[in-house]
Amino acid sequence: MIKWWRKRRRARVQARAFPAPWRTIVERNFGLFSSLTSEEQDDLLDRMKVFLAEKKFEGCGGLEMTDEIRVTVAAQACLLLLHQEDPHYYPHLMTILIYPHAYVASQKRVLAGGIVVEEPSARLGESWVRGVVVLSWDDVRSGASCANDGHNVVLHEFAHQLDQEDGVSDGAPILEQRSQYVAWARVLGAEFEDLRSRLDRGRSTDIDPYAATDPAEFFAVVTETFFEKPKSLRRKHPELYAELSSYYAQDPAEWGR
């Protein structure tokens, strides 16, 4: 009954016209929008309506929340949901906190002897397993406008949200069939280990070194690369590209750009 009611409510939300000022924001701020077909653009806007109706935005550090901020975040977050037949719309996410700039958070580090210390850490964004995504507006805006540098904080943090839907941040999001996990683990595991090996040997890599932190960060980083540098990823890492293309049901290397 709850699922039926939610689907009905979302259909009502999607039936509303997308506000013209919001579309202007998307076209101006989100560089990848023009790469989509007109059908895909309409689909993205429909998903944004639901996302904006269901998620709460809060400004932090003196930032005043505006439609420009909300719409710019929503466009990028919903790109990850494009072509999904029944998107979950990040079911555990309730609130998106936005700082005006990079912010400082506390980070725990374990020293020798098991001593735990907390240190300040500058961040552009973070994704919590339950309820919250935190973002820097400066970096949201720059990531949205520059569509081919391989860096996008919204795609990164919302990839973490997809990964965390099962309650664990391990680089393995929920897949449609159990059999898919075998290929996912084989391909992404091999690419992750190859990246770490290259870095240990001081060799260059086309994947951001931050991806070597752990499997969760690897998935988030290669998601950024998949959407922003798809042709390079497909050429140099064809199996990795194929796994991501299957998961996201998208083929950005073929987009018109």
Per DSSP, the three-state class of 17 is coil
- Confidence at 102, pLDDT banded by 50, 70, 90: confident
Q: What's the pLDDT tens digit per position in 135-179?
A: 999 999 999 999 889 999 999 999 999 999 999 999 999 998 889
What is the distance of C-alpha 36 from the center of its chain? 17
φ/ψ (deg, to 5) at 27: -65, -35
CATH classification of the domain holding 21: 1.10.472.150
For 29, the token pair is: 């701020």
Alpha-carbon distance 212 to 236, whole Å?
Answer: 17
Pair (153, 177) in one structural domain: no
- Structurally, how many domains does the chain consist of? 2
For residue 250, the one-letter residue type is: Q
Domain closes at, from 164, 179, 201: 164
Q: What local confidence, expressed as pLDDT, does residue 120 receive?
A: 55
Pair (192, 136) in one structural domain: no
Element (H or E) spanning 58, and its range?
strand 56-59
92-107: b (≥16 Cβ within 10 Å) or e: ebeebbbbeeebeeee
Contact 192, 215 (CB under 8 A): yes
Contact 3, 35 (CB under 8 A): no
- Which 8-state DSSP code applies to residue 94? E
**Which of 46 and 106 is assigned the larger pLDDT?**
46
Pair (22, 99) in one structural domain: yes
Q: What's the pLDDT tens digit per position in 188-221?
A: 999 999 999 999 999 999 999 999 999 999 999 9
Kindly state the average pLDDT of the residues 96-106. Answer: 85
The structure's pTM equals: 0.92
Pair (75, 41) in one structural domain: yes
Per DSSP, the three-state class of 122 is strand
Mean pLDDT across the chain, nearest whole number? Answer: 92
Pair (111, 190) in one structural domain: no
CATH classification of the domain holding 240: 3.40.390.10
Pair (196, 100) in one structural domain: no
Pair (224, 122) in one structural domain: no
Alpha-carbon distance 8 to 203, whole Å?
Answer: 53
Domain closes at, from 164, 181, 206: 164
Pair (157, 74) in one structural domain: yes
Please give the residue range of the domain that contains residue 121.
Answer: 1-164
Q: What's the pLDDT tens digit per position in 225-253?
A: 999 999 999 999 999 999 999 999 999 99
φ/ψ (deg, to 5) at 240: -65, -45
Q: Is 85 exposed, middle or buried (0-12, 13-18, 19+ CB in 10 A)?
A: exposed
Per DSSP, the three-state class of 185 is helix
Q: What local confidence, expressed as pLDDT, does residue 3 receive?
A: 79
Range with lowest mean pLDDT among 50-54, 120-124, 150-154, 163-167: 120-124
Alpha-carbon distance 240 to 60, whole Å?
Answer: 37
Percent of the chain at pLDDT exceeding 70: 92
CA within 13 Å, CB half, 48: 25
Kindly state the average pLDDT of the residues 9-24. Answer: 94
Alpha-carbon distance 237 to 102, whole Å?
Answer: 32
Domain closes at, from 138, 164, 190: 164
**Which of 29 and 147 is assigned the larger pLDDT?**
29
150-185: b (≥16 Cβ within 10 Å) or e: bbbbbbbbbbbbbbbeeeebebbbeeeeeeeeeebe
